[in-house]
Structure 1
Amino acid sequence: MDSSFSRYQNLAENDRKINNMLANKQAQDFEMSSVSVVPDETYTVAQAVDAFGFGKFQVKLSLFTGLCWMADSMEMTILSILAPTLHYEWQITRYQQALATTVVFLGMMLSSPFWGSFSDKFGRKPALTLCSVLLFYFGILSSMSPNYTWLLILRGLVGFAIGCSPQSVTLYAEFLPCKQRAKCVVLLDCFWTLGACFEVVLALIVMPTLGWKWLLILSTAPLLGFACVCPWLPESARYLVASGQTDKAIDVLKKVAYDNDKPMLLGKLVVDDVVLEEKRGRFSDLLLPQLRLTSILLWFIWLVCAFCYYGIVLMSTELFESGNNNKICLPSMENEIFKTVQTCTAESRYLTTRDYIDLLWTTLAEFPGIFATIFIIDRFGRKITMVVQFLIFAISLSFLFHCAKNRALLTIALFFARGIIAGVFQAVYVYTPEVYPTPLRSIGVGTCSAMARLGAMVTPYIAQVLLKSSIATSMAIYISAALLAAFASLLLPIETKGREMKEHVSKN
């Protein structure tokens, strides 16, 4: 009996062990069905983002960052609408009118290093949150400016806050899979164009009844909206890992996986080896022998892009405004530059409904420009795209010599010019991060952006001041700049189409 009972116990114990093994195996199979395994048992943020793909998380982030980009665009578009009104209401000179535009770009240029350092130290989310609050605050205050001096100060502070807006694109790009990154970054520019169109429509409704001060107030609405959604913005997982906050980075990646209905990766989250092995690039590294020509050419191309793009934006209202005047405005020789200097006998001194409608048409041109760039940039390459678009832009401007007095032809020429220069700007945005290696990519794009601000600071004196005295001279300057930029694009030594992004700085 004892022997039989012992055998029964042994058999029962074996059955229990087998059942436990089967249960453990089922549990493991269940976990494996909801978690992807990385063979090395480690993974980087880049691997995780590529594994999760483009999904619901990126769609929501597109809307959030797009709202910031839209608010930035509206503040820029205000410059072309506000200047003619202030010229007549406050009797400011053309140089003062141009200075009101330049001071915004000056604030942007000076603040770029500050916001870059702030976001690297405290994160993208705190930087964007503070930026939206400051931009909303200074935007409201600028509407209460009692005089021209205060307007300059407050619009300069608006420009300082706007300098952080590119961080929204940085945050967006850091959550994009490699294959979708270029197209998604280009498509994000649709929010910029949408903001510009919305600003023109808002001006059409507000300016004739409430005036420019209410336009400044109502234009801050998207900023208020973005400030409200900032608590839901995710922090960059790349920043969190680089700053040693691995647990928070994993939580963010789990959120991405959940929203995109993808399994979370198993293993340990590590920092990319390249980041650990190589020091962050310095400005002098951009002038290494193998990068010197590329950097110099790109600085010039970015400068011309901003010079021509904002030139078209500003000259559009100037040309439409000139078309309303029955007589030419002549400068008074007896006044100083920063006092009232122009007399005009025209009956219409403000932009009319037709002006705003034509301005809206020229702004809408950016949509086909963006989509055309997306279509051709992967087929013909980045360099050829920039060369051809600069040449077409120059041709479009040449028509302005002959159609400045014909309203329909003027609108068509501005339409093509605005669409083309918007497209070439996006091509440059795609090319620049691709051509620089990872340790130099951030500083490379940053220096190019600074050169763009410099071009934007100069263009008001051509598009708003010189244009009033000589359309031919101002157009010749823009055409010459575009032709030189086309030649510079042709001289770029590297074509990045189909080329993987470099992770190391070549020592050759």
Structure 2
Amino acid sequence: MRQSSAVRKLISCRNISRTVLQLRHLATLEFKRGNDPQFTDYSEICNTFTKVPLTFCLVPFTETFTVHDALESFGFGKFQWKMSFLTGLSWLGDAMEMMILSILGPQLLCEWRLSSYQVALLTSVVFAGMGIGAPVVGSLSDIYGRKAALMISSCWSLFYGLLSAFAPVYGWLLVLRGLVGFGLGGAPQSVTLHSEFLPEKSGGICIPLVAVFWALGSVFAALLAWVAVPALGWRWLLALSTAPMAVFVCFGFWLPESARFNLLAGKTEKAMATLAHIAKENGKPVPRGKLIAHKRKGGGRIKALFSPQYRRTTLLLWFIWFANAFAYYGIILLTTELLQAGHLCERTDNEQSCSLDCKYLTSADYKNLLWTSLAEFPGILVTILAIDRIGRKKSLALCFFMFCLSILPVYVCIGRTAVTICLFTARAFITAGFQVAIVYTPEVFPTENRALAMGTCSAMSKVGALITPFVAQVLLRTSVFGTLSLYCGFSLLGVIASLLLPIETLGRGMQESREAGEETTNTTGTSNAATQECTP
């Protein structure tokens, strides 16, 4: 058999073992086709020696590229700005639905003569629905696509959100708000879809910027309640709060399906069409060559989250999301409770709460609620400043710790203004922590299970959100000390869980499959020598 000059040069070494050793260290080089024909074909090397690094054997005879390569070449442009706006509308609608929970309670407490437990249940049923809906929509998103799952869940939320404004009695309102919650469980898939179109270096900044829409939703809900509830009542508040979701549903047809998902699902032509569309929008050329991808293995299966590679990460993230939501929604509910009741710490354990001593929210209460809602914006700023400087893990730990520190002064029965400042600061840091978790989760899991991971993490957050009304709206009426201690305790556990996360995703590109993630993990912190070998 006639050997190429490339093979003859390698065999001319003193012995075969030294040649093989040299080949092992060539894995970090990038071999490209050149004008010299003697360096264009290395296929004979893999047939000559028994063990050669895989990256050496897979030298392409034609140019190839991945979705990651394409997105990096396109950069952040017009397409990504449109994606940010549309997915942001989904977040805005979700935020408004969440914010009105803290406003609806005091209104119904008086108008329908509800007990504090019934008010807490009305809040918790929404989170229960979200806890069920999030993993269901997440699994469907990994099987049938991000866009389809997101649009169906958004239409669901819009429909039942409008119906809940016409609920005649408490029981009907409870059922309808639970169904709204089920649809809102799909909202995190907007982050999954958005993140899969971002260049590597843009994720740490662009995803928190989408959170600006969440902050706007909180502020709009407070303003809308301030204007609508005294004049029109809570039913108009529920109806008008669905407006952002209606806009998203109308314009959501523009959203393309994720190219990463299509490629992993074997829909290469659709993936290429999406990449061509992005290139046209951003004014950049499509990379030359063939689009390649990892083979899909069991997307949308929860057992993949408990593989040896991801088990620890999954469990820690579940707790982090739980603690984040427990603290975040707790602060939102505490704001109306503390500001409405004044010096709650002066209450005795024997003082009971009933419908006869209810208080409607005053103009001053709405004003203070608006001020604490504005804390979302500095929280986003904290995320942007910290996440790409100290990393995702340390940023999470810092946010949990500062949240705990911010609510400590409330223990000593400080005045109304001081309470507002403390709640503002605490909400800013827990908002930042939530955004860091939203950035980290899609980065650490592969495309084949990314949506399911986001869905299950979101479901765990709703468990925390489901529990927190009984702490912030029920336990608070008998023990301020116990209430604040629970929030401090869970935030400190969040610090520990954040630092125990096994993977730091700063500077780590998105993984398409578990195998790709294993390769990245194996090469992190070691030499660049290849760890896989090919055999004839």
Question: TM-score band, normalised by the shorter chain?
Answer: 0.7 to 0.9
Instruction: Show structure 2 runs of 5+ residues with no match.
Output: 1-59, 523-536
Q: Where does 1:1-20 land on structure 2 (aligned, <5 Å)?
A: none
The alignment status of 1:192 with 2:202, answered yes or no, reads no
Matching of residue 480 in structure 1 with residue 493 in structure 2: no
Q: Does 1:396 align with 2:406?
A: yes
Alignment of 1:2-151 (within 5 A): 40-151=62-173
**Correspondence for 1:164 among 175, 182, 186:** 186
Counterpart residue type for residue 313 of structure 1: I
Residue 468 (structure 2) pairs with residue 456 (structure 1): no
SS of 1:318 mapped into structure 2: helix
Q: Tell me the secondary structure at the aligned position of residue 297 of structure 1.
A: helix
Superposed, which structure 2 residues align to 1:297-376 within 5 Å?
Answer: 297-323=316-342, 342-345=354-357, 349-376=359-386
Deviates more, 1:376-385 or 1:198-207: 376-385
Which of 451, 469, 475 in structure 2 is aligned with 1:466?
475
* Change in 2 beyond 3 A, CA 1:39/1:316: farther
Q: Return the match for 2:517 from 493, 497, 504.
A: 504
The AA in structure 1 aligned to 2:354 is Q
How far did 1:231 drift? 2.0
> Retained in 2: the 8 A contact 1:329–1:342?
no
Alignment match, 1:383: 393
* Post-superposition offset of 1:246: 3.0
Partner of residue 434 from structure 2, selected from 425, 431, 442: 425
Partner amino acid for 2:335? S
Is 1:259 aligned to residue 275 of structure 2? no
Q: Would the aligned equivalents of 1:332 and 1:342 in 2 still touch at CA under 8 Å? A: no
Amino acid at match of 2:464: G
In 2: Cα distance, 1:182 partner to 1:214 partner = 38
User: Residues 332, 468 of structure 1: CA spacing in aligned structure 2 closer, same or farther, 3 A cutoff?
Assistant: closer
Contact 1:439–1:504 (CA under 8 A) maintained in structure 2: no
Question: Is the 8 Å Cα contact of residues 329 and 344 (structure 1) preserved in structure 2?
Answer: no
The amino acid that maps onto 2:380 is I
Residue 434 of structure 1 and its aligned partner are, at CA, apart by: 3.7
Distance 1:125 1:414 in 2: 36
Q: Report the alpha carbon displacement of residue 54 of structure 1 after superposing the two structures with TM.
A: 0.8
Root mean square deviation, CA, Å = 2.6
Q: Distance in 1 between matches of 2:149 and 2:452?
A: 18
Q: Quick one: distance in 1 between partners of 2:304 and 2:268?
A: 30
Question: Do the aligned partners of residues 489 and 395 (structure 1) sit closer, same or farther apart at CA in structure 2, a change above 3 Å counting?
Answer: same
Give secondary structure in 1 for the equivalent of 2:360. coil
Deviates more, 1:98-107 or 1:315-324: 315-324
Stretch deviating more after TM superposition (382-391 or 59-68): 382-391
1:43 Cα deviation (Å)? 2.7
Shift in Å at residue 125 of structure 1?
A: 2.5
Q: Shift of the alpha carbon at 1:46?
A: 2.3
Aligned-partner Cα distance in 2 for 1:345–1:162: 33
| Structure-2 change in CA distance of 1:243 and 1:388 (3 Å) | closer
Q: Figure out how many residues of one structure are paired with residues of the other and give that number.
A: 457
Do residues 219 (structure 1) and 241 (structure 2) align? Answer: yes
SS in 2 for 1:459: helix
Deviates more, 1:144-153 or 1:233-242: 233-242
Change (3 A) 1:64 1:290: closer
Q: Report the TM-score, using the length of structure 2 for normalisation.
A: 0.79
The answer on whether the counterparts of 2:124 and 2:469 sit within 8 Å (CA) in structure 1 is: yes
1:295-347 Cα distance to aligned partner (Å, 9 max, x none)? 3332222211110011001111111111299x9799898xxxxxxx715447x
Q: Distance in 2 between matches of 1:465 and 1:296?
A: 29
Contact 2:387/2:395 (<8 A) preserved: yes
Give the direction of change, closer, same or farther, for the CA distance of 1:253–1:296 in structure 2 (3 Å limit).
closer
Q: Percent identity?
A: 49
d(CA) in 1 for partners of 2:334, 2:256 = 39
Structure 2 contact 138–451 (Cα < 8 Å) conserved: no
Question: Pick from 186, 195, 201: which aligns with 1:179?
Answer: 201
Alpha-carbon offset, residue 432 of structure 1: 3.1
In structure 2, distance between residues paired with 1:250 and 1:433: 22
- Alignment equivalent of 2:176, drawn from 154, 167, 170: 154
The letter of the residue matching 1:462 is: V
Give 3-state SS (helix, strand or coil) of 2:342's partner.
Answer: helix
Change in Cα spacing, 1:230 to 1:331, as seen in structure 2 (3 Å) is farther
User: 8 Å contact 1:382–1:495 — kept in the other structure?
Assistant: yes
Partner of 2:231: helix, strand, or coil? coil
Superposition deviation, residue 166 in structure 1: 1.3
Distance 2:264 2:307 in 1: 26
Partner-residue secondary structure (3-state), 1:81: helix
Distance (Å, rounded) in 2 between the aligned partners of 1:440 and 1:110: 18
TM-score by length of structure 1 reads 0.83
Q: Quick one: which amino acid aligns to residue 204 of structure 2?
A: A
Moved more, 423-432 or 302-311: 423-432
Change (3 A) 1:264 1:497: closer
Question: SS state of the match for residue 361, structure 2?
Answer: coil
CA distance in 1, matches of 2:151, 2:307: 37
CA contact (8 A) 1:331 1:343 kept: no
Offset, 1:114: 2.4
Q: How far does residue 467 in structure 1 lie from its aligned partner after superposition?
A: 0.9
Verify the 8 A CA contact 2:264 2:448 in the aligned structure 1.
Answer: no
**1:52 Cα deviation from its structure 2 partner:** 1.0
